[in-house]
A and B are shown apart, each in its own frame.
Chain A
Amino acid sequence: MAYSLNVNGKNYSVDVDADTPLLWALRDVIGLTGTKFGCGVAQCGACTVHLDGQAVRSCVTTVESAGTAAIMTIEAVGSTQVGNRVQQAWLEQEVVQCGYCQSGQIMSATALLNENPSPSDDDIDAVMSGNICRCGTYPRIRAAIRQIAAGPGFHRRRLR
């Protein structure tokens, strides 16, 4: 069955079964391979994308349940103000080691900062502990999020 998906501001028609994971539609049908397969059972966060601004695990989100939501992936998040700041902070803090999980980490961090511009350490942990990094880059992820939250003007208003 053909489904219309709005991904990064563009409409794509994907001919897949209703229960096809959104991750497969993004990677194998549309060709956006920045979103990664990690565990396939919503345990690691590597496949995180945004649906109407909310972080979701695309490995357990079916194409049917994505519906008409605006889907954003790592390929486009840098075009948003918060996403751009997250990516810059990631570079400045040299967060990335092997990098496999980092698209999911950045999508989760952006979702967090979109909704909570000045997260406490507990707030950061509550969201980011859903994203596993086998390289153990957690302290640098935290530092990068702190850096963004402490940035000029950031904590006083929400950026999109």
Chain B
Amino acid sequence: MRRFQEVSGVAFAACAAEALLAVTLAVGSGLADDKIQPPADGTLKGVADFQSIGEPSARSRALFTEAAKVITGPRCINCHPATRSPTQGDDRHPHRPPIQAGESGMGVAGLNCHSCHRFKNTSLPGSRVGSIPGAEHWLLAPASMAWQGLTLGEICRQLKDPARNGGRSLADIHKHMSTDHLVAWAWQPGAGRRPAPGTQEVFGALIEAWIATGAECPS
């Protein structure tokens, strides 16, 4: 009953969307963990910026740390939560309404992600949220790919582990990061949302260079 009670405690005015959002967006403010901070700005260094680091393993770690500005940014990490419920916004507050991933990662019987998230972003002019994000196959990352609450090193080692990364090789990881349409959404997140830093092209190049230098992980 807890989840139901949480909702019933939200003051709701049927025709006052802005008032509703002010309440709902205030719920659960604060970061879900304090190990990882979202990038402070929208910049992402390119591979060339790391050529001055002569030692390959050190360069590899630096490349991953830069790429992690994207990975740990809110556009990506909100759907790689520690629990089976997504978070929202730059402050990673709990998703409103409350949503559970279910076994499919796409919601539970009767309420799935596509109930609200359609095949592309839905613009909501004049609203506080700006838009409802959307893309084909919108879904939560599997539990084995949870990132929230992990250090950069832990995320890195998880990414490389086929037992936890969906059986992907490093080449598969590069392909996913550089071409997948859900990853691409992070740079076209719709009105009301800050895009991931840099571009997917630069991000993909960082991942490729990280792999080429040994795919070393931060400690």
Contacts and interface: CB of A to CB of B under 8 A. Distances in A.
Interface string A33-66: 0001111111111101000001111001110010
Given A42-B132, A57-B115, A125 B21 contact: no
Interface stretch (A7-15, A89-97, A110-118, A149-157): A110-118
Interface in A62-94: 62, 65
B4 A129 contact: yes
B99 interface: yes
B48 interface: no
Contact of A60 (B102, B110, B132): B132
A133 interface: yes
Interface in B1-48: 1-8, 10, 12-15, 17, 20-21, 24
Interface of A: 19, 36-46, 48, 54-57, 60-62, 65, 100-101, 108, 111-116, 119, 121, 123, 125-130, 132-134, 136, 138, 142
Interface of B: 1-8, 10, 12-15, 17, 20-21, 24, 96-100, 102, 108-112, 114-116, 118-120, 122-124, 127-129, 132
Nearest to A42: B116
A132 B7 contact: yes
Contacts of B98: 126, 129-130
B132 A41 contact: yes
Contacts of A133: 8
B100 to A, nearest CB: 5
A125 B108 CA distance: 11
With most chain A CB atoms within 10 A of its CB, the pick from B15, B24, B111 is: B111
Contact of A44 (B4, B5, B20, B112): B20
A60 B14 contact: no
Contacts of A100: 14
Nearest to B96: A43
B115 A39 contact: no
A123 B1 CA distance: 10
B14 A46 contact: yes
Nearest to B126: A40
B127 A40 contact: yes
Nearest to B134: A65
The 6 closest A-B pairs by CB, nearest first: A112-B110, A115-B109, A127-B110, A130-B97, A42-B116, A116-B109
A43 B21 contact: yes
B12 A132 contact: yes
A112 B111 contact: yes
A35 to B, nearest CB: 13
A115 B104 CA distance: 14
A116 B107 CA distance: 13
